[in-house]
Amino acid sequence: MTRHIAIAVSAGLLLGLSACSQQPPAEPEITIAQGQAEAAEQRLTASEGGQIVLRAINAHGGLEAWYSAPTSSYTWEYSNEAMGAQFKTRVMVDNQTRRAYHEFVTLGPHGTSEPYDGRFAWDGQNAWIIPADTPKVNPRFWALTGYYFEQIPFVLADPGISYEVLPDEELEGKPYDMVRASFGDGVGDSPGDTYTLYVDKETDMVAAIRYTVTYGRPAGGDPARPSRETQLRYDDYTTVDGLTVAKHFVGYNFADGAVVDFKNEAWCDEISFTQPFDESRLAMPEDARLQPPPGE
């Protein structure tokens, strides 16, 4: 009898093991990055303009690679003769919260910048800069301006953005797909800003953008001071941590559908999307200058 029980138990175990082996494999867990990528893809595919932006994002590395990147860090150098300034900072941005801190490398008049000991930061609500008398650089404006230029097209997958397909335009004799991205009311200090992408019809890469700056302007715009467009051409692409971004930018004043003259230039280097974010760098020193929102 004991032998029969043992055989029955053995048979039961075999049947159980056989049943387990026939169960479908467990579904892989969806990571946070995958979930964010799927949500962004749904937003982008909902409109024809969004689909063009998605094409560009895929060509530059894809949504999942972007949402897997915890930070964006690089050096950013900006030169503008009309502004009378040239500066270079080491930038660190949290890609999820868009908090940022910068450490100056150089600062000075256009073409003659020199080493400079200073820094500024944006903690999501407040922006500050030290030394308090640092000229030309508004920390609230510059905390993320270079970041948006550098991280296009990825940042254009954010919620609250509308996309409009525009007629093809030529750049140096080559036609490009055109799409304008605009921000909803209440999105940041410059909700009236727009970014118009020149997307290569063959490679889907972004060759240039046109942008408007509405920072400090009244809501709805000022008819006496219409927003001007700048055409910013992208150059010297590199792929870092699976994301393809530009290292050189040349800007031109743009009016009546054509380039007017040279405006500004920027360079990006020492790029990484994996460096840790140092929360302590957001703390405002006692002798720093707090930058109020525009209009205050």
Residues 145-158 have pLDDT tens digits of 999 999 999 999 99
Instruction: Please give the pLDDT value at position 191.
Output: 54
d(CA 294, CA 223): 18
pLDDT, average across residues 50-79: 98
Q: What is the DSSP string of 9-20?
A: HHHHHHHHHHHH
Instruction: Please give the pLDDT value at position 14.
Output: 36
CATH superfamily of 35-291: Lipoprotein localisation LolA/LolB/LppX (2.50.20.10)
Q: Is the pLDDT of residue 18 over 60?
A: no
Least confident of 9-23, 31-45, 120-134, 209-223: 9-23
Instruction: Please give the pLDDT value at position 120.
Output: 98
Instruction: Please give the pLDDT value at position 220.
Output: 47
d(CA 287, CA 296): 20
Domain map (residue ranges) of the chain: 35-291
Instruction: Please give the pLDDT value at position 193.
Output: 83
Strand partners, 171: 174
Tokens of 196: 């118009």
Q: Is the pLDDT of residue 223 over 70?
A: no
Instruction: Please give the pLDDT value at position 295.
Output: 66
Residue 126 DSSP symbol = -
Q: How far apart are the first and last CA of the chain?
A: 92
- 289-291 and 206-212 strand pairing: unpaired
Tokens of 185: 């009311």
Q: Is the pLDDT of residue 216 over 60?
A: no
User: Mean pLDDT score of the chain, rounded to an integer?
Assistant: 87
pLDDT, average across residues 76-101: 96
Instruction: Please give the pLDDT value at position 28.
Output: 56
Q: Is the pLDDT of residue 19 over 60?
A: no
Q: Is the pLDDT of residue 287 over 50?
A: yes
Instruction: Please give the pLDDT value at position 224.
Output: 47
Q: Is the pLDDT of residue 200 over 90?
A: yes
Residue 206 pLDDT class (50, 70, 90 cuts)? very high
Q: Is the pLDDT of residue 124 over 90?
A: yes
**Are the beta carbons of 248 and 65 closer than 8 angstroms?**
no
Instruction: Please give the pLDDT value at position 111.
Output: 87
